[in-house]
Amino acid sequence: MARDHYEVLGVGRDAGAEEIQAAYRRLARANHPDVNRDPAAEDRFKEINDAYHVLSDPSSRRRYDRFGDDHRRVPEDWEERVSRAGSRGGSGATRDGGFSGFGDAGVAGAGFTDVGGAGVDIEDLLGGLFGRGRGGATVGGADQEAELPLTVEEAYHGGRREMQLSGTSGPRTYTVTIPPGVVDGQRIRLAGEGGRGLGGGAAGDLYLVVRILPDERYRLVGRDIVVGLPVSPWEAALGATVPVTTPGGEVTVTVPPGSSTGRTLRLRGEGMPGRRGVRGDLVAELGVHVPARLTERERELFSELAQVSTFDPRREPTRPGTHGARRRKAATS
């Protein structure tokens, strides 16, 4: 039996959506195979992803809370079906609630929730949910969603990768083709990999929702890639051509003379790939860094500069974009 999803994320059953998301992001980053080289990290990462996929969606979370590991075999509209069935009446209802005795051929000896004293024939209610239909009806399977966590580099380059999702019959492995330049929230469709159909109906589709993992080096704004660019005082004062590491490789940028922390330099077309050849930009945010320890000669030169320079940064007019905690943090990361 799979571990309890709440236990996997380390949250209580009364956890709110924000707490669940925060726990997922923390654990997903710590256990991502590209970050954690522990051989067991990949399995933990898959377990974390599956738990978040279930608990982050209110509908699937309600089914999981009620039916446990069998929740995937329960239709999304089960509450509506109970309500409709209760209004019609019937016989054989139980008050203990919940499904029991699931089997691939149907539901055997199942109890159902109390619906105002009216009995419910579960076979009629679910219409042969797990393989048997009433009256030869053909019903297509439901579309399903799962999250696909990616690093910035994985999203940039795209390519094929395998991912594993837990199912009622055990884990399933999918081969996913990731288009280069996918962004957070973009969906990748796997045709026919969703919920099973009834009475010979076609299976639904599985949609993988891209989630870009937090990265200490890169920040994505749409298709623009924002990077922090540390420069020395003399590079900032005199100007320089310096290298910048990007997901696509190393590029060079020209730092204009007289640059200060917070200044942004934009390289057109060096950001995330896009459809029809349209790419984002690379935005480098400058951060002026000084040596932590000075040699004797460096100290002499800085002292000489202090004597001859009339520059006073506290009296200089503030240029737009040179202040703000968020910008400074990105530039000096």
Q: What pLDDT score does 330 carry?
A: 37
pLDDT for the residue 79: 65
Query: What is the per-residue pLDDT for 112?
Result: 34
Confidence at residue 200, expressed as pLDDT on a 0 to 100 scale:
74
Residue-wise pLDDT tens digits, 279-292: 899 999 999 999 99
pTM of the predicted protein model: 0.54
Direct distance between the N- and C-terminal alpha carbons of the chain, in angstroms, rounded to an integer: 43
Which residue in this structure is represented by tokens 């993992």? 213
Given strand 144-150, what is the order of strands in its sheet? 144-150, 206-212, 187-190
Q: If we measure between CA atoms, which residue out of 95, 91, 129 comes closest to residue 113?
A: 95
**Tell me, what's the pLDDT at 218?**
93
Q: What is the pLDDT of residue 88?
A: 54
Distances (CA, A) of 290 to 104, 234, 239, 314: 67, 10, 16, 18
* Mean pLDDT, contiguous 10-residue spans, the chain (333 residues): 82 90 88 78 83 86 79 68 57 36 32 36 45 53 85 93 78 89 89 78 86 91 93 95 92 94 93 84 94 93 92 72 37 34
